[in-house]
Amino acid sequence: MQIKQKTLDIKVLVIPQFVLSWLFFCGFFICFVPVIIYVANEIEKTLPDVANLFHHRPAQPLRIYAASEELLAEYGEERREIVSIREFPRALKNAIISIEDAKFYHHRGVDYSGVFRAVVRNIASQENSQGASTITMQVARNMFLSKEKSYIRKIAEIMLAFKIEALFSKDQILEIYVNEIFLGERSYGFAAAASTYFNKSLSELSISESAVLAGLPKAPSAFNPVANYQRAMIRKNYILERMKELNYLNQEEFLQAISEEVKITKRANTRDSSVQFAVEEARKMIYEHYGESTYKEGFDVELTIDTRLQKAAHTELRDGLMRLQKIRGWEGVEGRFNVEEKVLDKKNIEKFLINFPDSGVLKAAVITEVLPNGIVKAMFRNGEVITLFSESGAYSVLELTKSSISRKRRIEKGTVVRVKQHAQNKWVLSQKPHMEGAMIAMDMQSGNILAMTGGFDFSLNNFNHVTQAQRQTGSTFKPFVYGAAIEKGFFPGFIVDDTRRVVKPAQRGSASWAPRNYANNYEGDITIRRAFIRSKNVATVNVMEAAGEDYVRNKALSFGFIPDFHPPGLPLALGAGLTSPMHLTQAFSVFGNNGAMVSPILIKSIRQRNGDLLYKAPDVSVRHQVISERNAFIVDSLLRDVVRSGTARQALRLGREDVAGKTGTSNRSKDLWFSGYAGGIAATTWIGYDDPKSLGAVTGGTIALPVWIKFMEQALSGRPEIQVTVPPEVSLIGGDYIYTEFLEKRTCSNSMSNYVRSPYSCDIK
Return the top range by mean pLDDT from 143-147, 693-697, 748-752.
693-697
Question: Are residues 536 and 415 both part of a single domain?
Answer: no
3 state SS of 183: coil
Least confident of 141-145, 152-156, 162-166, 421-425: 152-156
Question: Are residues 617 and 718 both part of a single domain?
Answer: yes
Question: Are residues 567 and 418 both part of a single domain?
Answer: no
Higher pLDDT, 374 or 437: 437
Sheet of 660-665, strands arranged across: 449-453, 436-443, 681-688, 671-678, 660-665
Higher pLDDT, 342 or 574: 574
Residue 259 to residues 224, 231, 237, 254, 262, Cα–Cα distance (Å): 20, 16, 9, 9, 9
Q: With cut-offs at 50, 70 and 90, classify the pLDDT of residue 6.
A: very low
- Contacts (Cβ under 8 Å, ≥6 apart) of 682: 441, 442, 444, 585, 586, 588, 589, 592, 675, 676
Domain boundary among 259, 279, 296: 259
Question: Are residues 115 and 31 both part of a single domain?
Answer: no
User: What is the phi-psi region of residue 155: left when phi exceeds 0, alpha when psi lies from -120 to 50, beta otherwise?
Assistant: alpha
Question: Are residues 352 and 213 both part of a single domain?
Answer: no
Domain boundary among 403, 430, 457: 430
Q: What is the pLDDT of residues 132-147, one digit of tens each?
A: 689 998 998 888 887 6
Report whether 222 contacts 257 (CB < 8 A): no
Residue 701 to residues 364, 643, 647, 710, Cα–Cα distance (Å): 32, 11, 6, 13
pLDDT at residue 7 above 70?
no
Whether 475 is catalytic: yes
Is residue 323 in some structural domain?
Answer: no
Question: Are residues 618 and 735 both part of a single domain?
Answer: yes
Residue 319 has what pLDDT? 97
Q: With cut-offs at 50, 70 and 90, classify the pLDDT of residue 127.
A: low
Q: State the pTM of this model.
A: 0.85
What mean pLDDT, rounded, does the chain reach? 89
Please, how many CA atoms are within 13 Å of residue 244, restricted to the half-sphere of its CB? 16
Domain boundary among 240, 259, 278: 259
Residue 132 has what pLDDT? 64
Is residue 1 in some structural domain?
Answer: no
pLDDT at residue 296 above 80?
yes
Is residue 308 in some structural domain?
Answer: no
Is residue 756 in some structural domain?
Answer: no
Q: What is the CATH number of the domain that holds 354?
A: 2.40.50.140
CA distance 213 to 187: 11
Report whether 670 contacts 703 (CB < 8 A): no
Higher pLDDT, 445 or 37: 445
Residue 270 has what pLDDT? 53
CA distance 439 to 501: 37
Question: Are residues 741 and 673 both part of a single domain?
Answer: yes
- Contacts (Cβ under 8 Å, ≥6 apart) of 554: none
Residue 761 has what pLDDT? 65
CA 33 to chain centre: 61
CA distance 258 to 241: 9
Q: What is the CATH number of the domain that holds 154?
A: 1.10.3810.10
Query: Quick one: what percent of the chain has pLDDT higher than 90?
Result: 73
Region 581-608 average pLDDT = 97
Residue by residue, DSSP assigns 199-255 as S--GGG--HHHHHHHHTTTT-TTTT-TTT-HHHHHHHHHHHHHHHHHTTSS-HHHHH
3 state SS of 645: helix
Question: Are residues 490 and 380 both part of a single domain?
Answer: no
Residue 5 has what pLDDT? 43
**Identity of the amino acid at 30:** I
Is residue 273 in some structural domain?
Answer: no
Whether 148 is catalytic: no
Q: With cut-offs at 50, 70 and 90, classify the pLDDT of residue 8.
A: very low
Question: Are residues 105 and 229 both part of a single domain?
Answer: yes
pLDDT at residue 115 above 70?
no
Is residue 173 in some structural domain?
Answer: yes
Number of residues that make up the chain? 765
Is residue 87 in some structural domain?
Answer: yes
Higher pLDDT, 727 or 109: 727
End-to-end CA distance of the chain: 177
Residue 203 has what pLDDT? 94
Q: What is the pLDDT of residues 509-518, one digit of tens each?
A: 678 899 999 9
Query: How many domains does the chain fold into?
Result: 4
Looking at 100, 165, 281, 297, which residue is catalytic? 100
Residue 2 has what pLDDT? 45
C-alpha R_g of the chain:
38
Residue 288 has what pLDDT? 96
Residue 120 has what pLDDT? 56
Question: Are residues 90 and 190 both part of a single domain?
Answer: yes
In degrees rounded to 5, what are phi and psi of residue 359?
A: -135, 95
- Residue from 26, 350, 124 nearest 365 by CA: 350
Q: What is the pLDDT of residues 250-292, one digit of tens each?
A: 999 999 999 999 999 876 555 678 999 999 999 999 999 999 9
Looking at 208, 274, 430, 475, which residue is catalytic? 475
Q: What is the pLDDT of residues 314-338, one digit of tens each?
A: 999 999 999 999 999 999 999 999 9
Question: Are residues 354 and 466 both part of a single domain?
Answer: no
Question: Are residues 166 and 201 both part of a single domain?
Answer: yes
Q: What is the pLDDT of residues 448-457, one digit of tens each?
A: 999 999 999 9
- Residue from 114, 108, 104 nearest 214 by CA: 104
Report whether 339 contacts 317 (CB < 8 A): no
Q: 10 Å Cβ neighbour count for 57?
A: 11
* Domain hosting residue 126, numbered range: 78-259
Is residue 569 in some structural domain?
Answer: yes
Residue 427 has what pLDDT? 95
